[in-house]
């Protein structure tokens, strides 16, 4: 049989996908599984966005799309960046992509040479490191422990940057922890980056509108305009507008980088669904009250989940500033044995046993570069969250 590419040895199937598959396998057997492993809003796409897609289809906007995005979508993105982030872009500084993930992939593929380093604060979204490896780069992870609020410290960033560093990746509010940086904290990181002009900066702002308790989101090119000419600001419609399945991402950055990413996209997927872009443009330009209303619901869920997890023996849960995840420490559960006889040595053991015995799906912290933790998504209804937390508490009480 012909051989597969050697680069696949560097890439793993996402742990959240694996846990989701296992949960579906149990559900197919008639077992009621509550999956808290996926980062997907449980809300509906706004009706006016769906109507915009419908009208686009009815009027014949169903042909091949412009490779970098429709004029209407680019204009909506430019207005969004100005309105929400105080950032000014021109159309040649905007690229519309198949989800925010493709924007990141395009950027890494367009810039990394073999051995270039990509600095990634840990815990991190699973795909960052794998995409860097596929592009020939070397991920350099920087530990951001819970006693620092899971945030990147300037001195740790400084220590991680070398002459080989090509990118520094920022994701606050963070997946998997929900940690977010204040303006002062972001400014301190910017001061470090200003000292290293050979480094590109990528900020994944997918959770920007999901912040709580009066926390004010900021993005690095807004905080430090002197970094704008080497910063790629990535965002999308998935989390803010519950449009995960529409696959609409976008980014703003310097024209030379966007041109290179445009070229890369042309060899991978070409343009993005025209009706999807019509829907996303309508979401960006339409009423924004729904965003705040949903964020308030997420905050209530966060508070409930944090309190419930802290009531479970062996679990200690930090209260995050944003996103819709918590990242509880499960160290107090390790070294113990479940009711089903499974010895828990690692957070992976914990996640698998919780799924198989309590039928609650979470993702092990090892997949995000930090143990012993698990990631729990609270992007699901309160009724299911109550049942899931009751099952987790019962599971932990049964450990011996």
pTM over 0.85: yes
Q: Is residue 99 part of a domain?
A: yes
CATH, residue 365: 3.90.1150.10
CATH, residue 277: 3.40.640.10
Is 113 found in the same domain as 23?
Answer: no
Cα angle value 316/188/168 (rounded, 5°): 80
The tens place of each residue's pLDDT in the chain, 400 residues long, gives: 898 988 888 787 777 777 778 878 888 888 899 999 988 999 999 999 999 999 999 999 999 999 999 999 999 999 999 999 999 999 999 999 999 999 999 999 999 999 999 999 999 998 999 999 999 999 999 999 999 999 999 999 999 999 999 999 999 999 999 999 999 999 999 999 999 999 999 999 999 999 999 999 999 999 999 999 999 999 999 999 999 999 999 999 999 999 999 999 999 999 999 999 999 999 999 999 999 999 999 999 999 999 999 999 999 999 999 999 999 999 999 999 999 999 999 999 999 999 999 999 999 999 999 999 999 999 999 999 999 999 999 999 999 9
Is 178 found in the same domain as 134?
Answer: yes
Is 214 found in the same domain as 333?
Answer: no
Q: Is residue 1 part of a domain?
A: no
Is 116 found in the same domain as 20?
Answer: no
Is 20 found in the same domain as 90?
Answer: no
Q: Is residue 360 part of a domain?
A: yes
Indicate the residue among 244, 260, 285 that finishes a domain. Answer: 285
Q: Is residue 342 part of a domain?
A: yes
Give the whole-angstrom CA distance, residue 182 versus residue 372.
Answer: 26
344: region left, alpha or beta (phi > 0 left; psi from -120 to 50 alpha):
beta
Token match 């009066």: residue? 214
Is 53 found in the same domain as 34?
Answer: no
Is 55 found in the same domain as 40?
Answer: no
Is 279 found in the same domain as 328?
Answer: no
Q: Is residue 35 part of a domain?
A: yes
Is 256 found in the same domain as 383?
Answer: no
Contact present, 313 and 307 (Cβ < 8 Å): no
Q: Is residue 32 part of a domain?
A: yes
**Parallel, antiparallel or unpaired: strands 374-377 and 94-97:** unpaired
Domain range for residue 389?
6-44+290-397
Is 296 found in the same domain as 202?
Answer: no
Is 261 found in the same domain as 248?
Answer: yes
User: How many domains in the chain?
Assistant: 2
Cβ contacts of residue 362 below 8 Å, gap of 6+?
19, 36, 37, 351, 354, 355, 374, 375, 376
Is 270 found in the same domain as 298?
Answer: no
Q: How many residues does the chain have?
A: 400
Indicate the residue among 285, 314, 336 that finishes a domain. Answer: 285
Indicate the residue among 285, 301, 334 that finishes a domain. Answer: 285
Cβ contacts of residue 298 below 8 Å, gap of 6+?
210, 212, 324, 378, 379
């Amino acid at each position: 049989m012909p051989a597969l590419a050697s680069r696949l040895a560097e890439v793993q199937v996402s742990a959240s996908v694996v846990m989701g598959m296992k949960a579906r396998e149990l559900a197919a057997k008639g077992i009621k599984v509550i999956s808290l492993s996926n980062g997907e809003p449980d809300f509906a796409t706004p009706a006016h966005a769906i109507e915009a897609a419908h009208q686009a289809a009815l009027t014949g906007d169903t042909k091949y799309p412009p490779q970098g995005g429709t004029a209407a979508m680019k204009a909506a993105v430019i207005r969004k960046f100005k309105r929400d982030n105080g950032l000014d872009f021109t159309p040649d500084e905007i690229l519309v992509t198949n989800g925010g993930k493709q924007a990141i992939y395009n950027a890494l593929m367009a810039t990394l040479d073999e051995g270039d380093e990509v600095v990634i604060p840990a815990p991190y979204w699973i795909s960052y490191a794998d995409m860097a490896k596929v592009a020939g780069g070397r991920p350099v992870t920087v530990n951001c422990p819970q006693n620092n609020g899971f945030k990147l410290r300037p001195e740790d960033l400084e220590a991680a940057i070398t002459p080989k560093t090509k990118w520094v990746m920022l994701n606050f509010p963070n997946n998997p922890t929900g940690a977010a940086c204040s303006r002062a904290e972001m400014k301190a990181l910017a001061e470090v980056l200003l000292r290293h002009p050979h480094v590109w900066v990528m900020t994944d702002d997918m959770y920007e509108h999901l912040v709580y308790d009066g926390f004010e989101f900021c993005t690095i090119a807004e905080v430090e305009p002197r970094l704008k000419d080497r910063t790629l600001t990535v965002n999308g419609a998935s989390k803010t507008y519950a449009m995960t399945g529409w696959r609409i991402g976008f980014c703003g950055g310097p024209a030379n980088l966007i041109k290179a990413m445009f070229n890369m996209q042309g060899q991978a997927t070409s343009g993005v669904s025209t009706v999807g872009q019509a829907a996303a443009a309508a979401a960006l330009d339409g009423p924004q009250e729904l965003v705040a209303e949903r964020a308030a619901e997420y905050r209530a869920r966060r508070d409930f989940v944090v309190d419930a997890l802290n009531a479970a023996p062996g679990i200690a849960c930090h209260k995050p500033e944003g996103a819709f995840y918590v990242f509880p420490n499960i160290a107090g559960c390790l070294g113990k044995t479940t009711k089903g006889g499974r010895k828990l040595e690692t957070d992976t053991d914990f996640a698998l046993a919780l799924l198989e015995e309590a039928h609650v799906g979470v993702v092990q912290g090892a997949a995000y570069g930090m143990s012993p933790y698990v990631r729990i998504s609270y992007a699901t209804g309160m009724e299911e969250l109550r049942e899931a937390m009751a099952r987790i508490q019962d599971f932990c009480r049964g450990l011996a």
